[in-house]
Structure 1
Amino acid sequence: MNNAEYSIEVHPETKEVNIAVSGKFQEKDAQSFVQTYQAEVGAIDPKDYDLILDCKSLVVVSPEILPMLEACYKMYKASGFNKVKFITSSAVVSMQLKRIAHRTELDNAEVVVASN
């Protein structure tokens, strides 16, 4: 029920890294995500790329997962992407994502609420 899923795709032709996340993440899911992220992003120069995160199917973040999500935001910031864009379909998730971006000083982040 609500298992976490993600995909990471690098598109050199559009200079975008697209990440899709869905479900409810647990610690083991976050660890796997970080390993995959580091492998994919390590092969490019992130400052030339935009990071686009499709969070439309992400379940509301629970308090126990918050530190892991904040660590991911810090990882995005450290990678040095040109722009980081979160796309969600939930106003509640949007508020959570904006709050975490502010708290982690991910200043080049944009959160967009889009319809499915």
Structure 2
Amino acid sequence: MTEKFKIEADPSRKLFVAAVGGSFQISDAGGLAMAFLQEGGKIQSQTSEYTFVADTRELESVDPALLEMLEQAFKMYKTIGFKKLYVVESKSADTSRQIREIAEKMNFGGEFVQSMDEIK
């Protein structure tokens, strides 16, 4: 993954995947939010049929200033009404720990997996 993020709805598998990579900064957040809204609009009336996947495998680090925004993102994922929620864990142990802590704080309710192959 060369770009910082990629948002994609896969109608054939009923997946909505938000992949993030690299060292994520405040300057990347606006573009990610716009892409999320744009792609999410394509499935707006069908979100209850889709599984949401936050693919953080290639995420190396999260700017500490973004942690509060990440909390809000987790809250939003819960309220949108996806069928299931998954986080594919980062290869970075520190980044995975940060994301797990935020998910627990927000009562995320999704599953943490090691690869896309584990998504059901």
**Which TM-score band (shorter chain)?**
0.7 to 0.9
CA distance in 2, matches of 1:90, 1:25: 13
CA distance in 2, matches of 1:87, 1:30: 19
Q: Does 1:85 align with 2:86?
A: yes
Q: Does 1:38 align with 2:37?
A: yes
CA distance in 1, matches of 2:95, 2:27: 21
Paired-residue identity, %: 34
CA distance in 2, matches of 1:26, 1:96: 15
Deviations 1:81-113 (CA, angstroms, capped at 9, x unpaired):
111111122333222222111111221x11123
1:4 deviates by 6.3
Deviates more, 1:8-17 or 1:83-92: 83-92
CA distance in 2, matches of 1:13, 1:113: 22
**Deviation >6 Å, runs of 4+:** none
TM-score, with normalisation over the residues of structure 1?
Answer: 0.83
The aligned residue for residue 49 of structure 1 is 50
Larger % of helix: which? Answer: 2
Helix, strand or coil at the partner of 1:9: strand
1:23 deviates by 1.1
User: Unpaired segments of 5 or more residues in structure 1?
Assistant: none
Report how many aligned residue pairs link the two structures: 111
TM-score, with normalisation over the residues of structure 2?
Answer: 0.81
Q: Does 1:16 align with 2:31?
A: no
